[in-house]
Structure 1
Amino acid sequence: MASGKASGGELEEKIDLSIETSSIISNSQSLVKDSFNNLSQALALLASVEKKARVGNDAPSLIKICQASLSLCIECKNFEILKDTLLMLTSRRSQKLKAIECCVNQVMPLVCEGYAPVNTLDKNVRDDLLVTLRDITDGKIFLEAQRARLTRALAVIQEQDGDIAGAANVLQEVHVETYGSISKKEKVEFILEQMRLTLLKKDYVRAAIVGNKINQKALKEEEMKEYRIKYFELMVIYHSYMKDAFALSKDYHEIYLTKSSIGEDFENELKHAVLFLILAEYSNEQQHMLHVLKQDSNIENIEEFQTTISLLLTKEIIAYPLKQQATLTSLPAFMEMKEHWTKCLRTRIIQHNIRVVAGYYQRIQGSRLAQLLGLNGQELEQELSNMVSDGQVYAKIDRPNDVVRFKVKKSSEEVLSDWAEDLKELLTLVDRTSHLIQKEKMTK
């Protein structure tokens, strides 16, 4: 007999039952071998020693007894008794954590392999065992990894049964990002599955929240490239719903960069990145990305897209429709919302043309501007009003005189202030020039 210190400071009694355990396990196996009908008798033999080992703090023997009890049930294929035995062993008073863990780990292979449900058992039996295991692992930190895998398997089963909403709800219960016993790679895979099911459920707000749980730095690691592609493919679905062209362009660009780095075919993603960048609203970031894509060597292989980028970066009026528009609009992502994106493309070309005109003209006849842009008067006013409201351009329309002003009219005080500033700059230049002339004379 050995002893150890108990939580109250007293010595905790420990008993070595290894010899008795081996004998009882051998006897119980012999009983079952003679007839499967002896299963209850064999389990009763094991239960008598289980209590001794549990009370006597003989953890190795206790684990062996638990494993033997469950193995006999599996061998007899009596899954009803297996379930009852599993619940009994894991709910014993003062049951050791390692014993509970070994019980769960022994039965789990019957219902799931990793995240995938196993189909070797009858579906009803498997699902019942799966739910039982989830109940046992609920609230137990030392079994959080097992619970996550069981929940994922349950979600897969529900999805296969056509219950997408149920699968998404079940998976959302698991806050895997807080689990310390699960690897970073496994966490990312789990969260991506949560995103996928949430998007299938069409809960786009929840999908965005779940997506923010993923560490972007982790996705940039070499071994995470597969998950990086999957993440941005899911974000494409979300941003397509939001009709956010610039975000879509960045999503496709990230997929393109990742695929090109691992040697996969990337032309489709590059085309989509360019297309949605063209459809995105004008901004400094959008212009910077246009320059980045223009300098990309792979863009040369898709001439129509390269030409469109050059047109948008050139301060010249673009005729609508574009010559290469049929090629641009034939991409699958464009065709999914063809009406919306076609209207958006026309708007972006008009806005580009207005910015070009505003850069060359201080004022222009409204009829002439409408002619240059290929618009009628009402459309011209609408587009100008939208751009002014968004702060993209300054403009004022004088309807009686049919004049559009693009230059801000300065007040008398502003004109005087500018004149004074120019005069000050002129006097500074004169003074500096006089100083240099004097210096030159002195050096001779």
Structure 2
Amino acid sequence: MAQIFISYSRQNEGVIKTLVKDLKVAKKEVWLDEALNGGQPWWDQILEKIRCCDIFIFAFSHDSRKSEACKRELGYAITLNKKVLPLRVDDVNPNLLPHGMSAIQCTDYLEQDKNSALAMMAEIAALSASAFVPPPDPLPPEPAVPLSYLGVIKDDVETGKMLSRDEQYALFYKIKSGVSEGHSLVEVRDYLLMLKQREDLLANVAEEVDAFLASIENELAQGQGHSKRDENFATPPSSQQSKSKTEKTVDIYCSKCGKGNSAVSKFCGNCGNLLHSETAGHTAPTHEKETERGGKSRRFVCPEQEYHRVIEDLNVWLEGQNYSCQRLTPEGGGVLLQVAQKGAWRKFVGMATALNILFHQEDNTVTVEIGAGKWLDKTAVGTVSLFILWPLAVTAGIGAWQQIKLPDKIFDYLGDRLVCA
């Protein structure tokens, strides 16, 4: 039985699934790389499979012709005198076949239908019947492992040093360029989500990351696992289904951070959490809302008996994150938790900047308002020790705190324990 190796770009996975199915129906033994880890052991396995194969199928597309891994796999197969079948899987110009293949006729597999499958099988049969050409002796040198474009910048994304504005933008555009260079949308998305987790990520950079993540999710949803054959044999939609397509897309809300996402999204564009389709159509959880005092608020379901324990647990968690906390009772009621980086309470004479977290309990819900303000310690207020009138706090804005993402982390911590109301 002929052993077939398929070289392809992960951007074409939907087509490749149909291709593999056709080959297996014809009782062909197929091998293709489905690992995502990369590295030398991964590359060694690929080269070994190329050496052992009888027929090398090059899934020719806009993406594979730009993929460094695909180009090296193809080049190695040619130097080994393998029987190569270029199979066109999208509308790429057949005249753009890589060097060394210009004399080889490209077979179309664009429609992924019965005729495409038969044409491919005929070419495989012809190649199988052609004369065997042994590989050179000694074997040609192995191509070097292609450095994963994302693997190269992984250290940059995970570096512990603070990144400047220019460095953050450079890193974002470097990741973004992977799409135009033929790399997997899933890979690009995963590394953008890693970039979003950086505590020093600037808000304007994060906005661009979010916008690009949304476009990636849309592309993944449109091309996810569908082939033209699926469309040809799909069950005609019912009138109700047709009607639903004309209606507004229902958002899916992330159970972790509460952010609304497109109904076709699989992952939250804000935190990367896996979305579940069963949440579609549910009432949106409360998002952070701008408050009159310049902060943000969110409401959670919280039984009265859990109220103070949740605040105490948050206090302990913050101190474990290297912050100092003090708990106050503002004049308007509720509980005020003030947070500052350790050692910053007396950074200035009698005054420092703190992050204010105000809790208000009502029935079985708690409203959490987060904002930054100026606070006076007991040396400044004299006999009114640690007494603060929350409405009169001088607002400083939460921009500096947003740079280290503490408000988001606090909301995430509470969201893991409580349900958004």
- Larger RCO (CA within 8 A; separation ≥ 6): 2
From the two aligned structures, give the one with the greater helix fraction.
Answer: 1
Larger radius of gyration: 1
From the two aligned structures, give the one with the greater strand fraction.
Answer: 2
TM-score w.r.t. structure 1 length? Answer: 0.27
